[in-house]
A and B are shown apart, each in its own frame.
Chain A
Amino acid sequence: MELRKLTDIEIGTVATIDSFTDEETSILLLEMGCLPGESIEISNIAPLGDPIAIKVSGYKLSLRKKEAATILVR
Chain B
Amino acid sequence: MNKQFNVALIGNPNTGKSTLFNALTGLNQKIGNFSGVTVERKTGKLELTENLTASLIDLPGTYSLYPRSADEHIALEILNSTKNPDYPNVVVVVVDATNLKRNLLLLTQLIDLQLPVVLALNMMDVAEQSGIEINVTLLAEKLGVPVVAVTARDFQGIPALKDAIIQQFEQPTLPSSTIHIHGYAPEVIDEIKNYFHINNDYAAFELAHHYHELNNLTQEKKDAIEAIGLKYNFNANKTQVAETIDRYNYINEILSDTVRKIKPALEETRSNTLDAILTHRIFGLLIFFVILFGVFQSIFNWSQYPMNVIENAFIGIENYLTAILPAGILTNLIIGGILPGMSGVLIFLPQIAVLFLFIAILEDTGYMARVTFMMDRLMKNFGLNGKSVVPLISGIACAVPAIMSARSIENWKDRLITIFVTPFMSCSARLPVYTLLISLVVPNKFVFGFLSLQGLILMAMYLLGFVSALLAGWLLKLFIKTKSKSYFLMELPVYRMPRWSNVGITIFNKARTFVMEAGKVILAVSIILWVLATFGPSKDFDAIETKYAKISSKNTTVELNSSTLESKKNAEKLEASYAGLLGKFIEPAIKPLGYDWKIGIALVTSFAAREVFVGTMSTIYSVQGDGEHLDTVREKMLEARNPETGELTFTFATVMSLMIFYAFAMQCMSTFAVVYRETNGIKWPLIQLFTMTAFAYIAAFAVYQFLS
CA–CA, A13 and B332, complex, Å? 74
Q: Which residues of B contact A26 (CB under 8 A)?
A: 241
Among B213-221, B281-289, B469-477, the stretch that binds chain A is B281-289
Q: Which residue of A lies closest to B63 (CB)?
A: A31
A23-B241, A32-B102 known; A47-B491 Cβ under 8 A = no
A31-B66, A43-B272, A47-B282 known; A61-B490 Cβ under 8 A = yes
Q: Which residue of B lies closest to A30 (CB)?
A: B244
A44 to B489, Cβ gap below 8 A?
no
- B185: min CB distance to chain A, Å: 16
Taking a contact as CB atoms closer than 8 A, the residue among A57, A60, A67 that contacts B492 in the complex is A60
Q: Which residue of A lies closest to B281 (CB)?
A: A47
- Contact string, A42-67, partner B, CB cutoff 8 A, digits 1/0? 01101111110100011111111011
The answer to the question of A28 belonging to the interface, with a C-beta cut-off of 8 Å to chain B, is yes
B374 to A28, Cβ gap below 8 A?
no
A32-B102, A33-B101, A51-B386 known; A67-B279 Cβ under 8 A = no
A31 to B491, Cβ gap below 8 A?
no
A28-B489, A44-B276, A61-B490 known; A50-B377 Cβ under 8 A = yes
The answer to the question of B245 belonging to the interface, with a C-beta cut-off of 8 Å to chain A, is yes
The answer to the question of A40 belonging to the interface, with a C-beta cut-off of 8 Å to chain B, is no
A32-B63, A46-B376, A51-B376 known; A27-B237 Cβ under 8 A = yes
Taking a contact as CB atoms closer than 8 A, the residue among B64, B378, B485 that contacts A31 in the complex is B64
A53 to B487, Cβ gap below 8 A?
no
B376 to A67, Cβ gap below 8 A?
no
CA–CA, A51 and B494, complex, Å? 18
- A47: min CB distance to chain B, Å: 5
Q: Which residue of A lies closest to B276 (CB)?
A: A44
- A6: min CB distance to chain B, Å: 13
The answer to the question of B179 belonging to the interface, with a C-beta cut-off of 8 Å to chain A, is no
CA–CA, A52 and B433, complex, Å? 42
Which residues between 228 and 285 of chain B lie within 8 Å of chain A, taking CB atoms? 237-238, 240-241, 244-245, 248, 271-272, 275-276, 279-282, 284-285
A46 to B241, Cβ gap below 8 A?
no
Q: Which residues of B contact A58 (CB under 8 A)?
A: 98-102
- A2: min CB distance to chain B, Å: 24
B285 to A50, Cβ gap below 8 A?
no
A24 to B279, Cβ gap below 8 A?
no
The answer to the question of B105 belonging to the interface, with a C-beta cut-off of 8 Å to chain A, is yes
CA–CA, A63 and B369, complex, Å? 12
B488 to A27, Cβ gap below 8 A?
no
Q: Which residues of A contact B578 (CB under 8 A)?
A: none
Q: Which residues of B contact A46 (CB under 8 A)?
A: 279, 373-374, 376-377
Q: Which residues of A contact B238 (CB under 8 A)?
A: 23
B280 to A53, Cβ gap below 8 A?
no
Which residues between 459 and 494 of chain B lie within 8 Å of chain A, taking CB atoms? 485, 487-494
Residue from the set A27, A29, A31, A36 with the largest chain B CB neighbour count within 10 Å: A31
A27-B241, A60-B491 known; A47-B99 Cβ under 8 A = no
A27-B241, A48-B374, A51-B373 known; A63-B488 Cβ under 8 A = yes
A35 to B237, Cβ gap below 8 A?
no
B485 to A24, Cβ gap below 8 A?
yes
Q: Which residues of A contact B68 (CB under 8 A)?
A: 28
Q: Which residue of B lies closest to A33 (CB)?
A: B102
B275 to A53, Cβ gap below 8 A?
yes
Q: Which residues of B contact A59 (CB under 8 A)?
A: 99, 102, 491-494
Taking a contact as CB atoms closer than 8 A, the residue among A27, A29, A47 that contacts B279 in the complex is A47
- Contact string, B555-575, partner A, CB cutoff 8 A, digits 1/0? 000000000000000000000
CA–CA, A50 and B494, complex, Å? 20
Taking a contact as CB atoms closer than 8 A, the residue among A32, A36, A47, A66 that contacts B374 in the complex is A47
A33 to B248, Cβ gap below 8 A?
yes
- A40: min CB distance to chain B, Å: 13
12 A–B pairs (Cβ distance < 8 Å), ordered by A: A28-B68, A30-B245, A32-B489, A33-B101, A33-B105, A35-B245, A47-B285, A47-B374, A51-B377, A62-B491, A63-B488, A63-B489
Residues in chain B within 8 A of chain A (CB atoms):
63-64, 66, 68, 98-102, 105, 237-238, 240-241, 244-245, 248, 271-272, 275-276, 279-282, 284-285, 369, 373-374, 376-378, 380, 386, 485, 487-494
- Return the 3 tightest CB-CB contacts between A and B, nearest first: A48-B377, A33-B102, A60-B492
